[in-house]
């Protein structure tokens, strides 16, 4: 098969981790007889430096005209002072919204090899963590009206949190579909004891649940969910929630698995095209030092093969290679433990390639 992939290396460690993912994709192409064409675009801080805006129109066009987008990371303290409309994060939100990527899939899985790196007690982590966070990605407080001004003599800010029924319905339905392919358990997380958006969320989720009688369904309040994630993460299989809650809970879910550097994500809309990125940030403190963990980006590329290109065997192959390399005791600095071999970002990439 031939696929065109729009590549956003981005800022900080973005370029080095994306490089490793592309070399892994090259190896897959060679092994399975595919052709992957990479089209690099500027977005994020590097685009601000080069073009004065984080998302040049030409970059966005290339995201809308390709088979999928692979992104490293954007942002960094260098651009903290720029106006909010052109901040690096605005590029990410702009792409998500323009591509209609309402479903953000963030698997959080504890690799047994990394159990010692989990901050949870062994008796809790030992029960296993393997959950899929399904986060609504283009609604809620992120995309409501934002404004700051003087009200009653003092500076006052507003961020409107808005959800329409159809926005809730499509993400909840997607989450039920995913649950069906896993262990058929879904928890919908909201704050229905306080927020109207959450009361609507709960009503719609329960209505959709009636269409999936084979999936065990429950609601959970977000504060309780935050607690349950550290108390008993093994209870979760698929979790669906709104944008802001999902942002927060997905970082929590990834951290309990040992290293945020391992975690991949897929952002999908109704078609097959998606955007794939590790869930960690641009880590400017270690940028350019060949220290970063490329596994989150490599596993994101695997998700691209699985979800957008229908290349399940190829994705399995990458995941198996990652497992084999971890089994062999190879670790980057972020998840290093006693008795393991410490590798740089590029060495880790090479090991995974060799294992394919
Ligand atoms: C994420 C990030 C982004 C978000 C930021 C960088 C805008 O934290 O992908 O989780 O909040 O969605
Ligand atoms: Mg986040």
**DSSP character string of 254-316:** HHTTS-GGG-EEEEE-SSS-EEEEESS---GGGTTTT-S--HHHHHHHHHHHHHTS--HHHHH
What is the atom index within ligand 1 of the atom nearest the CA of 251? 10
Task: Give the mean model confidence (pLDDT) for residues 290-313.
Answer: 97
Separation of CA 57 and ligand 2 centre (Å): 25
- Residue list, ligand 1 pocket, CB within 6 Å: 89, 92, 247
CA distance 345 to 334: 11
Q: Which residues, in sequence order, are bridge partners of residue 189?
A: 220, 241
Task: Provide the pLDDT for residue 116.
Answer: 85
Task: Provide the pLDDT for residue 206.
Answer: 98
In this structure, the residue with its CA closest to atom 8 of ligand 1 is: 247
Is 102 among the catalytic positions? no
**Residue from 102, 142, 276, 307 carrying the catalytic annotation:** 142
Check if the beta carbon of residue 265 is closer than 8 Å to that of residue 279. yes
Q: How confident is the model at residue 259 (pLDDT cuts 50, 70, 90)?
A: confident
Ligand positioned closest to the Cα atom of 142: 1
Separation of CA 216 and ligand 2 centre (Å): 28
Pairing of strands 35-40, 2-10: parallel
Is 247 among the catalytic positions? yes
What is the atom index within ligand 1 of the atom nearest the CA of 93? 7
Region of 173 please: left (phi>0), alpha (psi -120 to 50) or beta.
alpha
Is 191 among the catalytic positions? yes
Q: How confident is the model at residue 117 (pLDDT cuts 50, 70, 90)?
A: confident
Task: Give the mean model confidence (pLDDT) for residues 280-299.
Answer: 97
Task: Provide the pLDDT for residue 195.
Answer: 98
Question: Quick one: what percent of the chain has pLDDT higher than 90?
Answer: 96
Task: Give the mean model confidence (pLDDT) for residues 255-279.
Answer: 94
In this structure, the residue with its CA closest to atom 4 of ligand 1 is: 247
CA distance 331 to 334: 8
Roughly how many angstroms between the first and final C-alpha of the chain, as a whole number? 19
Q: What is the best residue among 43, 54, 85, 89 to mutate for testing ligand 1's pocket, by most ligand atoms within 8 Å of CB?
A: 89
Q: What is the pTM of this model?
A: 0.96
Ligand positioned closest to the Cα atom of 84: 1
Average pLDDT over the chain, rounded to whole?
97
Task: Provide the pLDDT for residue 353.
Answer: 98
Task: Provide the pLDDT for residue 95.
Answer: 98
**Residue from 191, 237, 276, 307 carrying the catalytic annotation:** 191
Angle, CA of 322, 324 and 328, to the nearest 5°: 115
The number of C-alpha atoms within 13 Å of 231 and in the hemisphere containing its C-beta is: 6
pLDDT digits (tens, 9 = 90+) for 156-166: 999 999 999 99
Task: Give the mean model confidence (pLDDT) for residues 173-192.
Answer: 97
Task: Give the mean model confidence (pLDDT) for residues 333-356.
Answer: 95
Is 142 among the catalytic positions? yes
pLDDT digits (tens, 9 = 90+) for 205-223: 999 999 999 999 999 999 9
Task: Give the mean model confidence (pLDDT) for residues 181-203.
Answer: 97
Task: Provide the pLDDT for residue 108.
Answer: 96
Q: How confident is the model at residue 341 (pLDDT cuts 50, 70, 90)?
A: very high
**Residue from 11, 67, 237, 247 carrying the catalytic annotation:** 247
pLDDT digits (tens, 9 = 90+) for 45-79: 999 999 999 999 999 999 999 999 999 999 999 99
pLDDT(237) > 90: yes
pLDDT(271) > 90: yes
Task: Provide the pLDDT for residue 258.
Answer: 85
In this structure, the residue with its CA closest to atom 6 of ligand 1 is: 89
Q: How confident is the model at residue 269 (pLDDT cuts 50, 70, 90)?
A: very high
Task: Provide the pLDDT for residue 142.
Answer: 98
């Amino acid at each position: 098969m031939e696929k065109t992939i729009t590549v956003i290396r981005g800022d900080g460690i973005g370029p080095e981790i994306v490089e490793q993912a592309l070399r892994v994709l090259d190896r897959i192409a060679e092994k399975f007889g595919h052709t992957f064409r990479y089209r690099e675009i500027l977005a994020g801080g590097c685009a601000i430096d080069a073009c004065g805006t984080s998302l040049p129109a030409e970059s966005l066009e290339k995201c809308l005209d390709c088979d999928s987008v692979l992104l490293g990371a954007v942002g960094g303290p260098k651009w903290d002072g720029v106006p909010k409309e052109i901040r690096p994060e605005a590029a990410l939100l702009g792409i998500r919204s323009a591509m209609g990527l309402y479903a953000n899939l963030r698997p959080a899985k504890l690799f047994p090899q990394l159990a010692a790196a989990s901050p949870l007690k062994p008796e809790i982590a030992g029960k296993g963590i393997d959950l899929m966070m399904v986060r609504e990605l283009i609604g809620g407080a992120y995309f409501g009206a934002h404004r700051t001004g003087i009200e009653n003599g003092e500076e006052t800010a507003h961020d409107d949190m808005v959800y329409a029924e159809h926005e809730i319905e499509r993400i909840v339905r997607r989450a039920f579909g995913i649950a069906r392919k896993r262990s058929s358990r879904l928890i919908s997380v909201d704050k229905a004891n306080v927020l109207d958006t959450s009361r609507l969320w709960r009503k719609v989720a329960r209505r959709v649940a009636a269409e999936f009688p084979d999936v065990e369904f429950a609601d959970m309040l977000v504060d309780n969910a935050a607690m349950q994630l550290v108390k008993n993460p093994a209870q979760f299989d698929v979790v669906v929630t709104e944008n802001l809650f999902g942002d927060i809970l997905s970082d929590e879910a990834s951290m309990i698995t040992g290293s945020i550097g391992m975690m991949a994500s897929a952002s999908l809309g109704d078609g097959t095209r998606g955007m794939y990125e590790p869930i960690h940030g641009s880590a400017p403190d270690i940028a350019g030092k060949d220290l970063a963990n490329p596994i989150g980006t490599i596993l994101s590329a695997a998700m691209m093969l699985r979800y957008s290109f229908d290349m399940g065997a190829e994705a399995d192959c990458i995941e198996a290679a990652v497992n084999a390399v971890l089994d062999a005791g190879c670790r980057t600095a972020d998840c290093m433990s006693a008795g393991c071999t410490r590798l740089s970002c590029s060495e880790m990439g090479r090991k995974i390639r060799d294992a394919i």
